[in-house]
Amino acid sequence: MSIHPRFASATLDGTKTVELRRRRVAFPPGALVVLYASAPEMALVGTVRVDTVVTAEPGHLWESVAARSGITRREYDQYATGVGALSALFLDTPRKLPAPVPLTTLRRACSSFTVPQSYRYFNVEELKSIASADAAGAELLQRVIDSGSA
């Protein structure tokens, strides 16, 4: 899942436990999500688990996400403008990778790798290629295997 570096940091240090999306998302509870910090970092930086996903009209969602979203009410209102519903991913178990896996390494390992606008799925072969190219990538593959998602 692509996320701004400010929010990736806050998510991985546990101060941001809700990620908002303007599109409906359907991650199952317990799903392991790999965080990609967008520019200027441009790297895989860690993982989190999805506890639950709530989709609702923006006016009904703010109260339940305000303290956990890492944004102000003004930022929330700007983000939600023109959207009929927002998805709130309630996250837990944040874990940083031992080192970021930079975009250059991802593209070298997987020539087909494209940065997701919102989120994308890794296949096992991509993860194996990343693992063989980078020690932090190997840690990522192990987490996916341990989670039963591979």
Interatomic CA distance for residues 89 and 136, integer angstroms: 25
Q: Which residues lie below 8 Å from residue 63, measured CB to CB, with a gap of 6+?
A: none
Q: Which pLDDT band holds residue 60 (cuts at 50, 70, 90)?
A: very high
Residue 25's closest CA among 53, 63, 57, 60?
53
Residue span of the structural domain in which 38 resides: 2-147
pLDDT at 128 > cutoff 80: yes
pLDDT-based confidence at residue 137 (cuts at 50, 70, 90): confident
Q: What is the pLDDT of residues 78-121, one digit of tens each?
A: 999 999 999 999 999 999 999 999 999 999 998 888 888 888 88
Is the pLDDT at 3 greater than 90? The verdict is yes
How many domains does one find in the chain? Answer: 1
Look up the CATH number of the domain holding residue 124. 2.30.130.30
